[in-house]
A and B are shown apart, each in its own frame.
Chain A
Amino acid sequence: MDFLVVFERELLTFRRRFWRYFFAGMVNPLLLLTAFGWGLGRGIELEGVSYLNYVVPGIIALSTMNASFTSVGVALNISRRYTKTFENYLVAPVEAHSIVLGKVLGGVLRGLLSAAIIVVLSRLYGAEVSLSAKALATILATAFLFASLGMLVGMLIWSHEDMNTFNALFITPMMFLSGTFFSLEMVPGWVAALIKLLPLTHASLCLRAAMLGREFPIASFAVLLAFGIAFFLASIIAVRRSSQ
């Protein structure tokens, strides 16, 4: 149960900084909801629903991604490079998987908070989306996936600049491409195929289906889980290999 110690350490920061995270977590969703839900989206319909209803699941997916990925990745980068507190875990009699699990759970928690904020905000904007068990499972899987990716990237990347580069090359494009703001039916088939390689796409697809009461794309959910497990296992290997 060593992972619980690692997780509780994260939990302590989460509790102490809750309001900071809370208000900081509101800014982006507010901007996105205003710009795409209200501004651009007024009067538009997509796939048979109002654009606001269409876009909210996508915004939840991308915010969960951002919160989970950044909270784990950036904190890990700092604790490895600057404060060197990560070393305390490496010299303690704790297995790599416990360290990874504890950190990833911390990131999942941040993703959940971020998703919860948007669910509440989007209601205020008049969105009619429901939070089913499938939606919750998708949010959890998305948070797990991107917290694990944050762990992996945080272990592999040393300089803060490379961290920004990774964001610019992968995370930001994913935000805009992954069927968050537009329907995959609107782009040529080969583009849609490429976009389906991105894990966030599957999070959007699952979440939109779950929240709008459509048929749940179980294959996409499996892709999410597979990505998550792969990143998680790769992080464990990266932690094991970190003594060089």
Chain B
Amino acid sequence: MIRLEALTKYYGEIRAVHSLTFSVARGEVFGLLGPNGAGKTTTIRMLTTLTKPTSGRAWVAGYDVVEEPLEVKRRIGIAPQHLNLDGELTARENLEFHGRLYHMPRSERRRRIEELLAFVGLEERADDLVEKFSGGMKRRLLIARALMHSPEVLFLDEPTVGLDPATRRKIWDLIRSLRGEGVTVLMTTHYIEEAEQLCDRVGIIDRGELIALDSPSQLKRRLGSFTVEVYHSGRVERRFFPTREEALEYGAEHARCDACDFSVRETNLEDVFIELTGRRIE
């Protein structure tokens, strides 16, 4: 459904995205995970025809994003990182105008608006002005708007940035429930847990480059599913092992001094990122 071939974007001297190549299959939930400034938003902007690539090509739903932007636009929904809802309109009007821009017939608009307002839990606030909404409500409405015209491909740029944990979980549930509907999702995040929880496959991106791509479990398995952290008086040493036993064994052997200690836990994607880049993600 989505294909990138050496997709590259420079802003003058700044390398925002460098030679990204990967594909996303129909119905897949694909995550781009990377720190701020990694090039996630730029990638989404190129795939959604908002930004022209410097070089390389990309196809969405079978159409070239540069050559056939209108065909691409008809088939995609976008929830951008910034909450760009129309604050002067009510939630319902936001969805209504959106539906009209996508040529949805009136009866279908009416049905879909009710359905989506229920889906994101905003029925009671349907006729309130959006400028009075909280961040979480706006975020939910943003997703509803992106789904309004039943797109084949959905782009979610940092769908939970700046939200409290409870609201974040609500959004996660929303994204999970999209799975049954066959829509292809490309989302970005700099939250490790989010990528692990939601995505079938994760592309780790750093400084504009894709440095790993696989399912979360495979990424971790390749590194070693268990992490032992050995503490030598303020210094932490991290090692990865395929089994808990091996990790425990290593810890016991290497934390011998008085001030030493160790712990064993399951490996997460942050470990993968640190191992690949030598830096933390945030």
Contact = CB atoms under 8 A, between A and B. Distances in A.
Given A2-B101, A90-B50, A93-B101, 15 more contacts: A8-B97, A9-B86, A9-B89, A12-B89, A12-B93, A13-B88, A87-B84, A89-B101, A92-B73, A92-B98, A92-B101, A93-B70, A93-B73, A93-B74, A93-B103
26 contacts: A8-B97, A9-B97, A12-B88, A12-B89, A13-B88, A16-B88, A83-B84, A83-B87, A85-B84, A87-B80, A87-B84, A88-B84, A88-B86, A89-B101, A90-B49, A90-B50, A91-B48, A91-B50, A91-B78, A92-B73, A93-B73, A93-B74, A93-B103, A243-B49, A244-B51, A244-B52
A9 B93 CA distance: 9
B85 A85 contact: yes
A94 interface: yes
What 6 pairs across the A-B complex have the smallest Cβ distances?
Answer: A84-B84, A93-B73, A92-B101, A93-B74, A5-B100, A85-B86
Contacts of A91: 48-50, 73, 76, 78
A5 B101 contact: yes
Contacts of A88: 84, 86, 98, 101
Interface string A224-242: 0000000000000000000
A88 B78 CA distance: 9
A213 B202 CA distance: 74
B22 interface: no
Contacts of B87: 83
B82 interface: yes
A16 B86 CA distance: 14
Nearest to B81: A84
B119 interface: no
